[in-house]
């Protein structure tokens, strides 16, 4: 399923007041919850899918937990930005889970990585906490870290951009 099709599906769910749909295809699970019947998601898991070592094939937007302000236009803008980054030759590391983003192991320790660092494959880049479980997120490429998208302590959605790496 490509990005355009996902957007169309979101529109359909919103327009028709459907409680939600869940689709599993080629190892990727996509769940879209309508606002009317389903609980509003403040912060959630994508059920069972927490493959930290594998990057999801979805584009770098949060489709699991749509905040009220996320309109299709905003999502398209985010996708466009991801494409621009991709065109610039950057590898984008996105979040495999929903949670809270931390740049260091604890408030007293140094950041795992900083912009300009050379990072290797399997290097731990950050922690994403969900239900008091600290998930360490590794790099899946070797290169130079050029951008860190979230702020420390910021809530993160599934598929949200975390890091840009010049490979």
Catalog residues that contact other proteins under the rule CB under 8 A. 39-45, 47-48, 50-54, 96, 98-100, 106-109, 122, 124, 129-136, 138, 153-155
Distance in angstroms (rounded) separating the CA atoms of residues 9 and 5:
6
Provide the b/e sequence for 122-137 (b: ≥16 CB within 10 Å).
Answer: ebebbbbebeeeeeeb
Please name which of 86, 91, 67, 78 lies closest in space to residue 146, comparing C-alpha atoms: 91
Residue 141's alpha-carbon distances to 5, 115, 149, in angstroms, are 29, 15, 17
Distance in angstroms (rounded) separating the CA atoms of residues 124 and 137:
6
Using the minimum distance from each CB to other proteins, give the nearer residue, 2 or 109: 109
DSSP state of 77: H
Using the minimum distance from each CB to other proteins, give the nearer residue, 89 or 132: 132
Least distance (Å) from other proteins to the CB of residue 141? Answer: 15
CB-CB neighbours of 102 under 10 Å: 21
Least distance (Å) from other proteins to the CB of residue 126? Answer: 12
Least distance (Å) from other proteins to the CB of residue 41? Answer: 5
Least distance (Å) from other proteins to the CB of residue 153? Answer: 5
């Amino acid at each position: 399923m490509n990005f355009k099709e996902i957007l169309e599906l979101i529109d359909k769910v919103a327009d028709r007041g459907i409680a939600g749909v869940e689709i599993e295809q080629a190892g990727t699970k996509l769940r879209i919850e309508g606002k009317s019947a389903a609980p509003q998601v403040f912060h959630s898991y994508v059920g069972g899918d927490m493959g930290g070592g594998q990057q999801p094939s979805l584009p770098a937007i949060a489709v699991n937990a749509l905040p009220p302000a996320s309109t299709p236009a905003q999502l398209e803008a985010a996708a466009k930005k991801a494409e621009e980054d991709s065109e610039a030759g950057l590898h984008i590391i996105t979040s495999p889970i929903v949670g809270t983003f931390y740049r260091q192991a604890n408030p007293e320790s140094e950041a795992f990585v900083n912009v300009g660092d050379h990072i290797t494959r399997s290097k731990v880049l950050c922690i994403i906490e969900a239900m008091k479980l600290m998930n360490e997120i590794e790099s899946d490429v070797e290169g130079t870290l050029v951008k860190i998208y979230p702020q420390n302590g910021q809530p993160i959605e599934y598929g949200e951009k975390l890091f840009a790496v010049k490979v």
